[in-house]
Chain A
Amino acid sequence: MQFLLDGLIAGASVGLGAIGVTLTYSVLRFSNFAHGDFMAWGAYAALVVVGFIGGSTPLGPFSFGLPLILALMVAMGLTSGMALALDWALFARLRARGQAIIVVMASFGASMALRSLLEFIFTSRPTYFSRSIQMAMPVGFGVKITADQVAMLVLTLCLVVGVHLMMTRTQRGREMRAYAQNPALARVVGIDVDRVVRSTWVIGASLACASGVMVGVLVQIRPLMGLSLLLPIFAAAILGGIGSVPGAVLAGVIIGLSEAAAVQFIGAEWRAAVAFVILMGVLLIRPTGLFGVTER
């Protein structure tokens, strides 16, 4: 049964990443191939900030202390700043020309550059927030969970609920949904498009950063971590239905669980194929995904 928990945790980080992809897709209308690299950059940013703050004793049963929590917040800001800068320098200019697929290509080029820049700065060797080994607590049915895993699941839950409430209850969220549905009408009713675009990048990049830090805490940090999560993230965004935040998270968990099941019953080496199989299934059977309303 342990694989169910492993899948849930892996699915949580996929889901957080997929929220960003689904929002960028529905608001800015392009699939951002650099989104995985936002995760990696977020994780490294947090690593650097932790290094600046210096060592401290871990909090209670966790492997991390206050510095990491602080670093996560700073890193979310830094990752958002990077996304906004990239949009200003590249995506916004190409978007203005109106060819969506050129923006996709630019994100592909940016992705390659961002990833290799990480390899240049930090080398491709994996690194860790903490090297301490954590004790896993049994929680019944033969399942064991570490304190870090609990913390990360709680973090995911808070972020997802927070973003969902923001999208459904706040003025900014309404404006984002309105713009996603009809950009021209959104302008007519007085919605500031630049502000909507900024919000989208900040939310997407912050969640990507959180997801990257999560993977960093639970597994490891390496420049390719974003690339290897990109396919599951895209698959989750499409399975959940483009534009749907709860859909992205649920689909992320479904993909995490399926991957864990594949590892358990088929073999760990085929794990990366699971997302592709699910993606093809969705595209062939129900391209609007679980919660998608329109196919765009």
Chain B
Amino acid sequence: MIDLLGYGAFFLSTALIFGLIALGLNLQWGLTGLFNVGIAGFVAVGAYTSAVLTSPDAADRVGGFDWPILAGWLAASLVAGAVAAFTGYATLRLKSDYLAITTFGVAVVVQLVALNAQGLTGGPFGVAFIPRPFASVQSDPVLFNFANLGVVVAVTLAVYLALERLSRSPWGRVLRALREDERAAIALGKSAQSYRVQAFAVGGGIMGLAGAVQAHFIGFIAPDNYLPTLTFEVWAMLMVGGSGSNRGAVLGAVVVWAIWVGSGALTAAVVPGDLQARAASLQIVAIGVMLCLILLWRPQGFFGARK
């Protein structure tokens, strides 16, 4: 029972971190209509920034800055936001497809840097000993998991409330207008582009923050955490939840993560060991098909507020 509670807290923390990423994506896509296929890249930038700034000295890479965790998170949001701002600046005056292609490229390059810039990122081995909040209670798993959950809930709630406020502010109304009415966007010209860059940057910053929170939650990161599958999962979460709705983004994350973990556990139990890698790819096929079906039949998702 106690174990189950601890696992529940762990599961919910992981799911809510995805929810945080989905909130960032919802600002970019749901509110502003900007297509980001490189989510994994922005999450990785945040995770690595905070990890490098807060982790203790390591022999073979830069480090030992020993920043406090919160400072690391702040830096993670800022750096990921800056990368997003540059991406947006370079492409948002062009057709929307170019942004998609460029974000895809950003994810490829971030993955490459994570793998190969060993002096900065630790290469394929990643960064270890990332300080975890509440490390002092680590010996009590249940307490530790719930303390972590508390932190994740607090961050998610803060971002959620801030985004709700933002989307009702004049700034949010402009973004919505730009998405709805291409002519208004053209009439606004340069300033329309700057609004979009801002939205894209803030969304990227939230993704970076989520990456940092996750890094400190697990205590260890490696390039493999940030493969295109991550991008894909977050998209599935937002589409299931209902793009345009912050509540839908968080709920969608929890539901899709539950399906993902549940089907994973099921295949692990049912499928013989040598076929498990195959079963895992079938899991991705299923999510891909689901994403397409939602686009075809229920583009508004399942948990979004009615419009």
A–B direct touch in complex (beta carbons closer than 8 A): yes
Cβ-based interface call for A106 (8 A): yes
Contact A104 B98 (CB under 8 A): no
A280 vs B94: C-alpha distance when bound (angstroms): 12
B235 CB contact (under 8 Å) in A105, A238, A273: A105
Contact B112 A270 (CB under 8 A): yes
Cβ-based interface call for B2 (8 A): no
Q: Which of B103-111, B164-172, B199-207 contacts A (4 or more CB under 8 A)?
A: B103-111
Contact A270 B116 (CB under 8 A): yes
Contact B105 A276 (CB under 8 A): yes
Q: Which of B12-20, B245-253, B280-288 contacts A (4 or more CB under 8 A)?
A: B280-288
Q: How big is the A interface, by class?
A: 35 or more
Contact B97 A101 (CB under 8 A): yes
Contact B235 A108 (CB under 8 A): yes
Given contacts A30-B97, A276-B108, A283-B94, A113 and B292 within 8 Å (CB-CB): yes
Contact B278 A113 (CB under 8 A): no
A35 vs B41: C-alpha distance when bound (angstroms): 21
Cβ-based interface call for A109 (8 A): yes
Contact B104 A234 (CB under 8 A): yes
Cβ-based interface call for A31 (8 A): yes
Interface of chain B, helix or strand or loop or mixed?
A: helix
Interface string of B95-122 (1 = CB under 8 A from A): 1111011101110110010011000000
| Across-interface contacts of A94 in B (CB, < 8 A) | 295-296
Distance in Å from the Cβ of B203 to the closest Cβ of chain A? 16
Contact A101 B278 (CB under 8 A): no
Q: Which of A12-20, A117-125, A144-152 contacts B (4 or more CB under 8 A)?
A: A117-125
Contact A272 B228 (CB under 8 A): no
Which B263-278 residues have C-beta < 8 A from chain A?
Answer: 277-278
Contact B105 A119 (CB under 8 A): no
A295 vs B98: C-alpha distance when bound (angstroms): 11
Cβ-based interface call for A110 (8 A): yes
A30 vs B35: C-alpha distance when bound (angstroms): 13
B277 CB contact (under 8 Å) in A105, A113, A123, A296: A123
Q: How big is the B interface, by class?
A: 35 or more
| Across-interface contacts of A30 in B (CB, < 8 A) | 97
A275 vs B281: C-alpha distance when bound (angstroms): 28
Cβ-based interface call for B81 (8 A): no
Distance in Å from the Cβ of A144 to the closest Cβ of chain B? 29
Listed residue (B105, B228, B281, B289) with the most chain A CB atoms within 10 angstroms of its CB: B105
A101 vs B182: C-alpha distance when bound (angstroms): 13
A196 vs B234: C-alpha distance when bound (angstroms): 35
Listed residue (B90, B97, B100) with the most chain A CB atoms within 10 angstroms of its CB: B97
Interface string of A197-225 (1 = CB under 8 A from B): 00000000000000000000000000000
Which B43-93 residues have C-beta < 8 A from chain A?
Answer: 90-91
Contact B284 A31 (CB under 8 A): no
Which A76-126 residues have C-beta < 8 A from chain B?
Answer: 90, 93-94, 100-102, 104-106, 108-114, 116-117, 119-120, 123-124
Cβ-based interface call for B33 (8 A): yes
Cβ-based interface call for A230 (8 A): yes
Contact A31 B100 (CB under 8 A): yes
Contact B96 A109 (CB under 8 A): no
Contact A110 B288 (CB under 8 A): yes
Contact B284 A287 (CB under 8 A): no
Contact B281 A109 (CB under 8 A): no
A70 vs B278: C-alpha distance when bound (angstroms): 30
A279 vs B101: C-alpha distance when bound (angstroms): 9
Contact A234 B101 (CB under 8 A): yes
Given contacts A119-B278, A269-B115, A112 and B98 within 8 Å (CB-CB): no
Cβ-based interface call for A25 (8 A): yes
Cβ-based interface call for A129 (8 A): no
Contact A116 B288 (CB under 8 A): yes
Shortest Cβ distance from A30 into B: residue:
B97
Cβ-based interface call for A10 (8 A): no
In addition to A33-B104, A104-B100, A117-B282, 20 A-B residue pairs with Cβ atoms within 8 Å of each other are A25-B97, A33-B37, A93-B296, A94-B296, A105-B35, A109-B232, A109-B235, A112-B228, A112-B288, A117-B281, A120-B281, A124-B277, A235-B105, A238-B98, A270-B112, A272-B112, A279-B102, A280-B105, A284-B90, A287-B94
A-B pairs, 8 with minimum CB distance: A113-B288, A109-B291, A116-B284, A119-B281, A276-B105, A112-B288, A116-B281, A31-B97
A-B contact pairs, 9 of them (CB 8 A): A104-B35, A111-B288, A112-B229, A112-B291, A113-B287, A267-B116, A270-B116, A272-B108, A283-B102
Report which B residues bind A (CB closer than 8 A). 33, 35, 37, 90-91, 94-98, 100-102, 104-106, 108-109, 112, 115-116, 228-229, 232, 235, 277-278, 281-285, 287-289, 291-292, 295-296, 299
